[in-house]
Amino acid sequence: MLDPLSSVLDGTDPLSLFAAAADPVPTTATMDSTRKKRDKDDSPAVGSDFEPWSSKRGEILARYTTTEKLSINLYMGSEKGKAATTGSAVSEKVRTRLEELDDLEEGSQKELLNLTQQDYMNRIEELNQSLKDAWSSDQKVKALKIVIQCSKLLSDTTVIQFYPSKFVLITDILDTFGKLVYERIQSMCVDNRVSLPDNFSPECVNDTAKETCLNWFFKIASIRELIPRFYVEAAILKCNKFLSKTGISECLPRLTSMIRGIGDPLVAVYARAYLCRVGYHLTLQICIKDLLCIPPENSLLSYS
């Protein structure tokens, strides 16, 4: 319930409003106060010591290394064939795509053991290239499977000193996927060779693009495991702009709540860090620092 005594606009008390109305000529003190308030509102939500991800990324990769042997699970794909669905209804196409996504659980898994750090990084780069190749050849479901597979790797903290670097490598793939999906939907909004402006509204987006965008969110919502479902949705968070003006700010609290379901405190903290990173660049209506603050129950004391 709102406190009626504190619900005035802009935090200004009623007496000051009445005084301003009675004296239309602004004083120097009033102008200074207004200027200070405007400067405060325009100030960034982060401190002066904030480091952009572009500079932090290389530092993490250089610092968090290991000589221990690593392992990685690779999805080999299901051998089960699929019937063609060309020309079928939209609901039939959606069901078929969800069945293809289910093949991720049915396909064989190949575990590579005793990998050096460089071998591991090479494998991740191969997956990144496979993602790009699948996308360029219009194998969107395969591309999604690759991203899901990579996201699952973030649940493994066996070699804990390498985890920060693993986080960087995997989120690079997630960023690539998010960019591909966004640009694909954006390209569907081109009308008479005129693309959408940067500050477009959902009303400018045609129905086909909106349907494609919703289809991506529906497919991601069908991912069974929490960690890949969280990371993949966070990766395409920006796509909410095609659907609603408030979509991003509405999704951030829900994604934040999903993190509470991650049992490993270290994995949960890094998931929160990724959401902070993607959310910071997308919304100015919410203070990311306050929204995504780490709750006491996610303590890292178990790693001290």
Asked whether residue 1 is domain-assigned, the answer is: no
Compute the average pLDDT of residues 53-58: 87
Asked whether residue 286 is domain-assigned, the answer is: yes
The single-letter code of the amino acid at 264 is D
Compute the average pLDDT of residues 271-287: 77
Asked whether residue 87 is domain-assigned, the answer is: no
Q: How confident is the model at residue 272 (pLDDT cuts 50, 70, 90)?
A: very high
pTM above 0.85, yes or no: no
Q: Which residue has the higher pLDDT, 62 or 281?
A: 62
Asked whether residue 229 is domain-assigned, the answer is: yes
pLDDT of 193 above 90: no
Domain hosting 156: range is: 53-70+116-303
* 8 A C-beta contact, residue 239 and residue 273: no
Compute the average pLDDT of residues 16-34: 50
* 8 A C-beta contact, residue 147 and residue 178: no
Q: Which residue has the higher pLDDT, 245 or 17?
A: 245
Asked whether residue 2 is domain-assigned, the answer is: no
SS3 108: strand
Asked whether residue 298 is domain-assigned, the answer is: yes
Q: Residues 223-264: pLDDT tens digits?
A: 999 999 999 999 999 999 999 888 888 888 899 999 999 999
Task: Give the total number of structural domains in the chain.
Answer: 1
